[in-house]
Amino acid sequence: MSSAALTRVMTLFYVALFFAYLFGPLVLMGISAFNTEKYPTAVPWSGFTLEWFNKLFNDTDLVRGFQNSLIIGAGVVVLSVPIGLAAAIIMSQLHKRARSIYYAVVLSPMLTPGVIIGISTLVFWDRLGTALDAEWDTFFYDGIFLSILGQTSFISTFCMLIFIARLQRFDRAQEEAALDLGASHLRVFFRILIPFLRPAVFAAIVLAFLTSFENYNTTVFTIVSESTLTTVLAGKVRLGTDPSISALAVLIILITLVGATAIELRKRAEERKIAAQLAAEKGL
């Protein structure tokens, strides 16, 4: 065997090994979701069943935790994306000497451990509620409200980084031209800047929601008496669980695949539309 052929074989072997390591656990978990065994396992195979999906939908703790995760994720998106956008715009307007200091300050929440953020959020709002003599049923002690604020404090930084990367390619001459022609700053913002940032806005929304949805370190402290999907799952895994967790993983994988496929199909359709428009223009 020649050296080139050996290199090709070894490359294919390592690629296959990498994908087996990456997707192997997902495949085994998917198989265990349809196995009649009472413990999540793919081997031995005892028979096909959909019992675990039915048990998953009837698990009130998981359903309530999932609903809370959706609510918290939506709240984090509503707060994190505008805050991240504002922070990115401010940074682009600052003098070069002040940017390094500003960057270090706004980036610090992302570098702070989630446990510290969770405890700090809980203690701060507890002290504030005590100082204002607030009742226990007010938002000062509401787990969903505290989780939204605690997660927003560092997720908004991720959004800011996305907007900064996009703004580096923005031509300021467009804003100056619009202002010279009599447009107001508000009109320039919504008619020029926002359309340019639309891909970054979409990316920031997706990142903020997914980061919030899977967060545990911060949420476990701020959620108080409520629960999210991650905290419920952590409790079930710690105390012992059944294949209904595998059924949940299968549903999440399917939703992810469907969403990714839909986005890719839409992207290709837009590319074909643009290509057709360019071809029509060239034909003229």
Instruction: Say how far apart CA 131 and CA 195 lie, in whole Å.
Output: 44
Instruction: Say how far apart CA 254 and CA 128 lie, in whole Å.
Output: 43
Per-residue burial over 150-187, b if 16 or more Cβ lie within 10 Å, else e, is bbbbbbbbbbbbbbbebbeeeeeeebeebeeeeeeeee
Which pLDDT does position 244 carry in this prediction?
Answer: 84
56-66 pLDDT per residue, tens: 888 888 889 88
Q: Over the chain, what is the mean pLDDT?
A: 86
The arithmetic mean of pLDDT across residues 212-222, rounded, is 91
Percent share of the chain, pLDDT over 70? 99
Q: Which fold has domain 63-246?
A: MetI-like fold (1.10.3720)
This prediction's pTM:
0.82
**33 — phi, psi (to 5°)?**
-70, -20
Confidence class for position 1, pLDDT limits 50, 70, 90? low
Confidence class for position 283, pLDDT limits 50, 70, 90? low
6-58 pLDDT per residue, tens: 888 888 999 999 988 888 888 888 888 888 888 788 878 888 888 888 888 88
95-125 pLDDT per residue, tens: 777 888 888 888 888 888 889 999 999 999 9
Which pLDDT does position 50 carry in this prediction?
Answer: 86
Which pLDDT does position 4 carry in this prediction?
Answer: 77
